[in-house]
A and B are shown apart, each in its own frame.
Chain A
Amino acid sequence: EPEVTQTPSHQVTQMGQEVILRCVPISNHLYFYWYRQILGQKVEFLVSFYNNEISEKSEIFDDQFSVERPDGSNFTLKIRSTKLEDSAMYFCASHDRGLGYGYTFGSGTRLTVV
């Protein structure tokens, strides 16, 4: 069964450093998302991406965050200057058409900011 692949599975970074979280969505999917889950809390929407542009973003997704689909297969989330409160599990998701069909999550990247 097709999977959404995320790398790395765990990343530790120092406060103030830039991090890039990588995702490879399912190949024929067109809609891409990032969500995050702070430890012990609920999963929160960060951003959605379609046709090479952001279609919606949450208030969490401030100027420190950016997304990119650099080569038609990878989908990246960049945090420019990490803060302690950015420590969380970050999930990538994708689907191939609207209205919830085939909505698939990756296994996540656990980001720890020290």
Chain B
Amino acid sequence: AQSVTQLDSQVPVFEEAPVELRCNYSSSVSVYLFWYVQYPNQGLQLLLKYLSGSTLVESINGFEAEFNKSQTSFHLRKPSVHISDTAEYFCAVLGWGTGFQKLVFGTGTRLLVSP
């Protein structure tokens, strides 16, 4: 079985500052990794994903995440945040060959960007 740990329940940051949202996972098999974003009163939007290849993946709005197999991490970073990045961010893992493609989510990190 897989599990995901997001240690920070809330991360306050000032606009234009850098941010890192931490995600660690546990799995006995190889995994695919995802970050989803949820804006207030909205659904889940895929932010970025790691399936294979380059361990550094980027989104269209400036976020990036790096898959680190040795540290079992997939931290999300952005060098300069905007007010509009305020949202809940969920890390999720999908295990190869275990179960039927179900995503296992972390508890989420609320990013609060203030002026």
Give the B-binding residues of A (Cβ under 8 A): 31, 33, 35, 41-45, 48, 50, 55-56, 91, 93, 95, 98-101, 103-108
Contact = CB atoms under 8 A, between A and B. Distances in A.
A100 B100 contact: no
Given A41-B107, A106-B43, A107-B43, A55 B100 contact: yes
Interface string B73-96: 000000000000000001010101
B44 A100 contact: no
Interface residues of B, number: 24
Looking at chain B's contact residues, is the secondary structure mostly helix, strand, loop, or mixed?
A: loop
A99 B43 contact: no
Contacts of B25: none
Nearest to A41: B107
Contact of A99 (B44, B101, B104, B107): B101
Given A48-B102, A50-B100, 10 more contacts: A35-B103, A41-B107, A42-B90, A43-B90, A44-B105, A45-B102, A48-B101, A93-B103, A101-B51, A108-B44
Contacts of B101: 31, 33, 48, 95, 98-100, 103
Nearest to A104: B46
A103 B46 contact: yes
A99 B51 contact: yes
Find the residue from A41, A43, A93, A100 having the highest chain B CB count within 10 A. A100
A104 B49 CA distance: 12
B107 A42 contact: yes
Contacts of B51: 99-101
Contacts of B42: 107-108
B102 A99 contact: no
Contacts of B92: 43
Contacts of B32: 99-100
Contact of A100 (B34, B36, B90, B106): B34
